[in-house]
Structure 1
Amino acid sequence: LSANGRAWRTWDVATHRATGSGRVPAGTVTEAGASAHVLGVTEGDGGLRLWNTATRRWSAPELHDVGDIHFTGDGRSLLTTEGDRVRLRSVADGRSTFAARAPDAALTAVSSDGRTAAACSATGVHLWNTADSRPLQGTWRQDPGVCDTDTSVLALSGDRLAVATANGTGLRVWDTATGRRVADLQDTGAQSASFSPDGAFVATADGSELRVWRLTDPGAPVFRHALNNQHLYGGLDWDRDGRTLRYLESGTVHTLDLGAAVTHDWRSTALNDVGFSPDGRTYATTERTGDRYLFRLYDTSDGRLLHTFPAVPVPVSTDPALPTVPADTLPLMAFGPDGTRFAYGVSAPGREAVAQPFGVWDVRHGRSLATLDLPGAAVVSLALGPGGAHTLHAVRTSSIGQLADETWDFAHGRRTSVLTGVTGSHLAVSPDGGLLVGEGRIARLPSGRSTGRDLVQGDEIGALAFTADGSAVAVGDQTGRVHLWDGAVRHRTGILRNVFPAPVGTTPEGVAALAFSPDGRTLAVAGDAGSLQLWDVGTQQPLSSGPLTTPGEAVTSLAFSPDGGTLFAGSAHVPLQRYTVDPERARTRVCARTGNAELTRAQWRTYVPDAPYRRIC
C-alpha cells in the first residue's frame, strides 16, 4: 500500500501490478490492515477512523487518545493504546473485545491471530490472553527491567515473544505457552523484529544489516543481508511459505529468498562429522549413540544410502584409572584423492587404547579392503593415498601431546615409515600420492623427506585442498584468508583476502572447508560460522558480491559434482546441501523467477554498468 494524504494505491508485490486505488473522505492514511481492505485514517484532531476500501464506508466510530496501532494478521482486529489502557477492537464495528491497564506502555504488540497481546513499560513485559483478559505468566516477569522507554523492539507471534533488552545485551525470546526463555540473541542494535510463520526463526534489522536467527541454535545468524544505508519502513514481513522475507524501503519492496537458511532438512540432532569425496559422488556421515559410532555412505546425486558400516565401539583405555569417556572420543574418516577409497575409525585423544581399529572401504565396488588395528597412542587425523596405492597416513598424539605421522600399507598390515615433521589435524595427499601436506611441513613420498613451509603465514590451518590434477593447493587459515600454492608447494601464488561478513560478536570467522572445481578454475571457501563463497582462481576475485545462503552453521566439507555444475556442502545438522553454480542453469533459474522479463536498457545501465547490454532470458 502506498498513500499520499487522502489518496491510496495497492500493488501486487509478486506481479508488480497495481491492484486498486482510491481516496478517503477526510484525514490522512497512516495504517493498513491485512490486504489493505481496511485503512487507518488519522484526522486533524488526532482521532482515528477505519475506512473499508471495499464498501467505501467508515467501518467504526472515531477513536480518540489513540497511541500505538497494530492490525492482526487476519485483518479482523486491531490493538490500540488509549490513554492508560490497551484495547483490542473489532475492525468491523470498532467494538472493544479486550481491555487491560497498561500505564506508560512504550511498546505494544499483538499476535497474528489476535489471541495474545503484549505491552512493554518500565515495569517490564505484560502479556494477556485476549479471549478472557487473563494475564499470562512467564519468566519475562522475573526481569522487570528488560524493557524501558529506550527499548525499540517488541515482537509477538502465536507462541513467541521477543524483546530487545534495555541494557543492550541483545534480543531475548520467550515461549509464551510455557513461559520459559528459549533464546538469547547477540543482536544489540535491533530496531525491528519479526517471527517466521512457524515461530522457528526471527528476523531482525538494524541500521546496517538484516539478520535471520534460528531459535534452536541462536549462536549466530543463519542469514545476513547488508542494507547499504537503506532505511526500513514498516518493519519486516514474512511470506506464508516461511522462506521469503520482505521489507519496504523508500517506496520499493525488497523480496529476499532465504532458501537454505530456513531449510526444513535441518536435523534436530547434530551429526558428529560429515565428509564429501573429492570427486563429489559420495558423502559420509557419522554419529554417536552411547559408546558406539555409526558410519554411513550416501550418493550425493540423490541422497540415497549406499552402505551402513558395523557400529564401531569407542576405544578401551589401557589404564583402568583413566577410562574412556565416550563424549570425549573422536570419530575419524577420510576419502582418498580420487574418492574411490574411504577410511574410518574412532580414537580417544588423551588415552592409550587397548585396540584402535580402522577400516578401509572400496567405494566403487562396495567391499571391505582391510581392517587395521593401531593400539596405543590416539590417532587424531587420517589421510589416504590414491586408489592404486595401499597407503594410510595416521597422525598420532602421545599422552604428552607429541605428534607423529605413521604411514601404513593397509593391504599387508605393516607400517612403512614414521614422519615426525608432517603432522596435525589437517592432512592432504596430492592426487598422484607423491606429496603429503600437513601443519607447516610437506613430505615427498615415498622417500618421506620433509621440508618446512609456513603455509599460512604463522596462523592456524583450517582446511587444505588440492586441484584434481595436483597443479595447485589451497590452504585456509583461522583468520578467513586462503593461501594459494603451486602443486609442488614451493611457491605461493596468491592470497585470497577475507571477505567473510564481519562477525556478530568478537570472534573472526575462520576457513573450515575448501574445494576446487574439476577444472581447477573455481575455488569454494566455507567458514566456521556458515559463510560460503566462490572464487575465480585465475583473477583471485570473488564470483559474487556476497556469500551463498547456507543453514548458518559451520560448513565442514565441500565438493563439486563431476561436471562442475553443482557445489555440495555439508554441516552437522544439514549434511547434504546443493548449490547450482553452472552459469546456464543459474541463468535459467533467474529468468524463471522474473517471468522471463528482460532488463530494460536503463535498468541495465543501473545494475550492470560494466558490461554491454544484451538480452538474457
Structure 2
Amino acid sequence: MTARTARRLRSLVAGLAALLVLAVIAAGLAFTQRQSAVTAQRTAQSRQLAAQSGALLDTNPDLAALLAVQAYRTSRTVEAVPGLYTAAALPLRYRLTEHSAQVWSVAFSPDGRTLATASDDGTVRLWNTATGRVRATLTGHEGVSGSLAFAPDGRTLAVGGEGGVRLWNVATGTVRARFPGQGAVWAVAFSADGRTVAGGGGDDGTVRLWDAATGRLRATLTGHTGPVRSVAFSRDGRTLATGSSDGTVRLWNLTLLDPKQSVDKICAATHRGFTPLERATYLGGRRDTACRG
C-alpha cells in the first residue's frame, strides 16, 4: 500500500466516523424531541383530567376520584398531586345504586354491619356496609315502603308502608309477622327491650302498639288530628314520643295503657271520682271506669 493510498483510506475512515457521529447526534435529538412531545402531551392530559376531577367533586365524587387517580398516573403534575389528596379525603365511601326509584328510609342495624333501605320501587334492600354490596332484597310489599326499624338484637327488621307493618327475619329474608294498619304506616319503632313495635301514619292520627312476639295489638293511641310521621321510644320503654302533621308532638305514658289502671291512679291522686264532664271528655262517657271504693 502506497502512502497516498493510506492517506486516502484514513480520510475515508475519518469521514465515515464523522457521519456516524452526526447520525447518532441526530437520532438522539429526534428521540429527545419525541420524548419531550410525549411528556408535554401527558402533562396536558394530566392537567385536563385534574381539572375535570375538581369540577366534579361536588356533583359526582365517584367519578371525580377516578379522574384524580388517572391524572396522577398519567403525569405527576402540580395539579394532579393535590387533586389526588383531595379525592382521597372525600367523605363518601360508597354510592348504592341498586334501587330503581326514590329511597324513602334508611336504617343501620345495631352492630352497624347492615344498612336497610326502603324504596318506591317496592323493595327493601339489605346492604353489607363493609363492601357496599347487596346482601338481600326483600320483596312483596304492598306499594311504597316508607319506614324502617331494626330490633335491638338486629335479627328482625320492621318495615312500615301502605300495607301495614311487616317483621322480617334479617338472616333468612323471610317474613316473620304482619301487622295490619288503618291505612299506611309511615313511622315504626321498636322498644328498647324489643318486645313492642309502634307504628303510626294513617289519616286517622292513631298510633298502634303491637306485641312483637305474638302480633297481638296491645293498644291504640288516639289524639292526633293528622297523620303520625315519627315515633320513638324512651330508653326505659315507659314513654313513647309521636310527631304528627298536625304540628304537635305527644309523649305517651305507656305504663297507663289499661283504662281501669289509669282511672285507679287518677282517683288515688285526686281523692275523688270523675265529674260527668270529665267522663264525657276523657273517658268517652264510659261507666265501667268509675273510681273504686
Q: How much does 1:587 deviate?
A: 6.3
Of 412, 420, 433, the match for 2:112? 433
- 1:590 match: secondary structure: helix
* Corresponding residue for residue 360 of structure 1: none
Name whichever structure is richer in strand by fraction. 1
Unaligned runs of 5+ in 2: 1-54, 61-87, 274-286
Question: Residues 490-519 of structure 1: CA distance to partner in whole angstroms, max 9, x if unpaired?
Answer: 221111123x2xxxxxxxx21110011100
Inter-partner Cα distance in structure 1 for 2:104 and 2:257: 38
Say whether the 8 Å CA contact 1:476–1:483 is kept in structure 2.
yes
Of 376, 384, 400, the match for 2:59? 376
* Corresponding residue for residue 10 of structure 2: none
- 1:543 match: secondary structure: strand
| Residue 475 (structure 1) aligned with residue 159 (structure 2) | yes
Inter-partner Cα distance in structure 1 for 2:214 and 2:161: 20
- 2:264 match: secondary structure: helix
| Residue 580 (structure 1) aligned with residue 253 (structure 2) | yes
* Corresponding residue for residue 210 of structure 2: 535
Say whether the 8 Å CA contact 1:435–1:444 is kept in structure 2.
yes
| Residue 525 (structure 1) aligned with residue 199 (structure 2) | yes
Of 188, 191, 201, the match for 1:514? 188
Inter-partner Cα distance in structure 2 for 1:374 and 1:574: 38
AA aligned opposite 2:250? Q
Inter-partner Cα distance in structure 2 for 1:466 and 1:561: 16
* Mapping 1:62-461, distance limit 5 Å: 375-376=58-59, 412-421=89-98, 424-438=103-117, 439=119, 440=123, 441-461=125-145
- 2:171 match: secondary structure: coil
Question: Residues 320-358 of structure 1: CA distance to partner in whole angstroms, max 9, x if unpaired?
Answer: xxxxxxxxxxxxxxxxxxxxxxxxxxxxxxxxxxx9xxx
Name whichever structure is richer in helix by fraction. 2
| Identity across matched positions, percent | 31
| Residue 484 (structure 1) aligned with residue 162 (structure 2) | no
Cα gap change, 1:588 to 1:574, in 2 (>3 Å): farther
AA aligned opposite 1:537? A
Question: Residues 99-140 of structure 1: CA distance to partner in whole angstroms, max 9, x if unpaired?
Answer: xxxxxxxxxxxxxxxxxxxxxxxxxxxxxxxxxxxxxxxxxx
Question: Residues 189-234 of structure 1: CA distance to partner in whole angstroms, max 9, x if unpaired?
Answer: xxxxxxxxxxxxxxxxxxxxxxxxxxxxxxxxxxxxxxxxxxxxxx
TM-score by length of structure 1 reads 0.27
Say whether the 8 Å CA contact 2:142–2:162 is kept in structure 1.
no
Say whether the 8 Å CA contact 2:228–2:243 is kept in structure 1.
yes
AA aligned opposite 1:493? R
Cα gap change, 1:588 to 1:465, in 2 (>3 Å): same
Question: Residues 283-339 of structure 1: CA distance to partner in whole angstroms, max 9, x if unpaired?
Answer: xxxxxxxxxxxxxxxxxxxxxxxxxxxxxxxxxxxxxxxxxxxxxxxxxxxxxxxxx
Larger RCO of the pair (alpha carbons < 8 Å, separation 6+) = 2
Q: How much does 1:535 deviate?
A: 0.6
Say whether the 8 Å CA contact 2:142–2:161 is kept in structure 1.
no
Q: How much does 1:412 deviate?
A: 4.7
Task: Answer with 1 or 2: which has the greater Rg.
Answer: 2
Inter-partner Cα distance in structure 1 for 2:59 and 2:223: 40
Cα gap change, 1:515 to 1:374, in 2 (>3 Å): farther
* Corresponding residue for residue 50 of structure 2: none
Q: How much does 1:436 deviate?
A: 1.2
TM-score by length of structure 2 reads 0.55
Inter-partner Cα distance in structure 2 for 1:521 and 1:587: 23
Unaligned runs of 5+ in 1: 1-354, 356-372, 378-410, 501-508, 599-605, 608-615
AA aligned opposite 1:415? L
* Corresponding residue for residue 68 of structure 2: none
Cα gap change, 1:470 to 1:540, in 2 (>3 Å): same
AA aligned opposite 1:464? L
Inter-partner Cα distance in structure 2 for 1:426 and 1:465: 10
Q: How much does 1:374 deviate?
A: 7.4
- 2:138 match: secondary structure: coil
* Corresponding residue for residue 462 of structure 1: 146
Say whether the 8 Å CA contact 1:531–1:548 is kept in structure 2.
yes
- 2:154 match: secondary structure: coil
* Corresponding residue for residue 39 of structure 2: none
Say whether the 8 Å CA contact 1:456–1:475 is kept in structure 2.
no
Say whether the 8 Å CA contact 1:467–1:520 is kept in structure 2.
yes
- 2:214 match: secondary structure: coil
Q: How much does 1:474 deviate?
A: 0.4
Aligned residues: 188
* Corresponding residue for residue 5 of structure 2: none
* Corresponding residue for residue 557 of structure 1: 230
RMSD: 3.5
Q: How much does 1:463 deviate?
A: 1.1
Inter-partner Cα distance in structure 2 for 1:412 and 1:468: 33
Say whether the 8 Å CA contact 2:138–2:173 is kept in structure 1.
no
Cα gap change, 1:456 to 1:579, in 2 (>3 Å): farther
Say whether the 8 Å CA contact 1:427–1:464 is kept in structure 2.
yes
Inter-partner Cα distance in structure 1 for 2:246 and 2:209: 22
AA aligned opposite 1:569? T
Cα gap change, 1:478 to 1:453, in 2 (>3 Å): same
